[in-house]
Homo-oligomer: A and B are copies of this chain.
Amino acid sequence: MKPEAAYDELIRRSREETLLASCADVLEWDEETCLPRGGVAYRSEQLALLAGLLHDRGADPRLGELLDLLEASFLSADPESAAAVNIREIRRAYERERRLPRRLVEEIARVTALAQQAWADARDAGEYERFRPWLERIVRLAREEAEAVGYTDTPYDALLEDYEPGVTTREVARLFEDLRRELVPLVQAASPSGRRRTAVLRREYPVDRQRLFAEAVAAAIGFDLDRGRIDTAAHPFCTALGPGDCRITTRFAARDFPGGFFTVLHEVGHALYEQGLDSAHYGTPMGEPASLGLHESQSRLWENLVGRSAGFWRQFFPRARAVFHEALHDVKQDAFVAALNQVEPSLIRIGADEVTYNLHILIRFELEQALLADDLRPADLPEAWNSAYRATLGLTPANDRDGCLQDGHWGEGLIGYFPTYTLGNVYAAQLFAAAGRAIGDLDAQFGRGDFSGLLGWLREQVHAHGRRLTAARLIARATGAPPDWRPLVESLRTRYGESVGL
């Protein structure tokens, strides 16, 4: 067989596997947004079937044959060429997939589909016990997966590698040590002592108008609604169901303007990455996001570095005041922006201020490592969660809804995923600084409603590359320096420390 023919077959198989995977993605999107309660059990069977079919393709020994042949032929090729990247990354996925037993893959799909509903029910009722047995099953399955895939240091590495290739648990732990040391005092210093400026954000913002306002802003910053949509769901997320179909979900509450609005900006950040991938490469690694950390860098960048900036609100505050006249008619722009940037430790990750945010992640990172290592039993999670919040943020959740039931990730089987949020914050700070150096005064551009400079730079430096580089190498190339927490802390210190004299 000629290498050209082998490569064509490899690509055809990759595209077809993506096509089938995207069918499962449609079913998962539907489960989160539309599925009636009575359909949950059957949905889990549908997803298990598709997971099994996908596994058969992903672990097909024919892939190994093609890869063996191609690796020999492409040895001298430019390692950053599309072909070399696709071969390397398909090998990586194949080596993982072929180590997983089909039974395990199906079981994970089935259990997580059911566990999501159990989590949503438990969260609604504030009853952790309803979710506990599912978490136990999920932790057991995650352990099985780690053992099957293999690791050198700790089982957590095997899970993390799937989300953030090339990054180890040890590196993440060291990163969190540094961040804890820097951020805990910054949170304390920046938190208000009596002065609370955020009351204005808890006024009445009618949900229908929030939706329209958020959609308008999403479109203005570049989200293409002909190639996507925005829905409401219990758990906000972004999913690409095809090259022209990227969907985000959010949730709105009348008395929590930032909760809904920044969720939309966050998910739109993800969507801009997906919509910025090269659609000619769709269905191959060159058309896929490089890592979840890099994905989060995009969401966090738009949510915080753009969405909480003074320039952004010079553009959008007049419109916000017109739309939410009752809530904002007596509010000045500066006071509004200050409220959006208030540092104040709170219980809910998704509504956390930028400075506190990574401490929420740190807590989850430590807890899920303990769960995986069996140092923490799921039955003891609520207590461990609450005591970690007390120790790190000085707060204790009044109930599990505001505590260990707040995030849907574990119910979806996503263990090892949380650290990518903090890696995203680290990358985002570096990318945003580099973009500013490259294309000039971003704040002024935002003030004019011009987001195309930033988006264009991100498309060129990040989105267009697909999986050509690991996240670490892409960051080094785009910003001139390897991943480093210092620009993040510096950015937070500049923006939040100044106001309190640090």
Contacts and interface: CB of A to CB of B under 8 A. Distances in A.
Contacts of A40: 244
- Which of A16, A26, A224, A227 counts the most B-chain CB atoms under 10 A from its CB? A26
B228 A38 contact: yes
Nearest to A242: B42
B46 A242 contact: yes
Contact of A43 (B41, B46, B242): B242
Interface in A199-239: 224-229
A42 B49 CA distance: 21
Interface residues of A, number: 36
**Majority SS at the chain A contact face:** helix
B46 A245 contact: no
Interface stretch (A28-36, A294-302, A358-366): A28-36
A19 B243 contact: no
Contacts of A19: 42, 45-46, 49
Contact of A22 (B35, B46, B229): B46
A53 to B, nearest CB: 8
Interface in A236-254: 241-245, 247
B34 A46 contact: no
Chain B CB within 10 Å — which of A35, A41, A50, A228 has the most? A35
A37 interface: yes
A23 interface: yes
A179 interface: no
Interface in A8-65: 16, 19-20, 22-24, 26-27, 30, 34-43, 45-46, 49-50, 53
Given A34-B229, A36-B226, A244-B36, A20 B41 contact: no
Contact of A245 (B20, B38, B226): B38
A49 B22 CA distance: 11
Contacts of A37: 226-227, 244
Given A19-B46, A26-B27, A45-B19, A36 B243 contact: no
Interface of A: 16, 19-20, 22-24, 26-27, 30, 34-43, 45-46, 49-50, 53, 224-229, 241-245, 247
A-B pairs with the 5 shortest C-beta distances? A38-B244, A39-B245, A42-B242, A38-B227, A39-B244
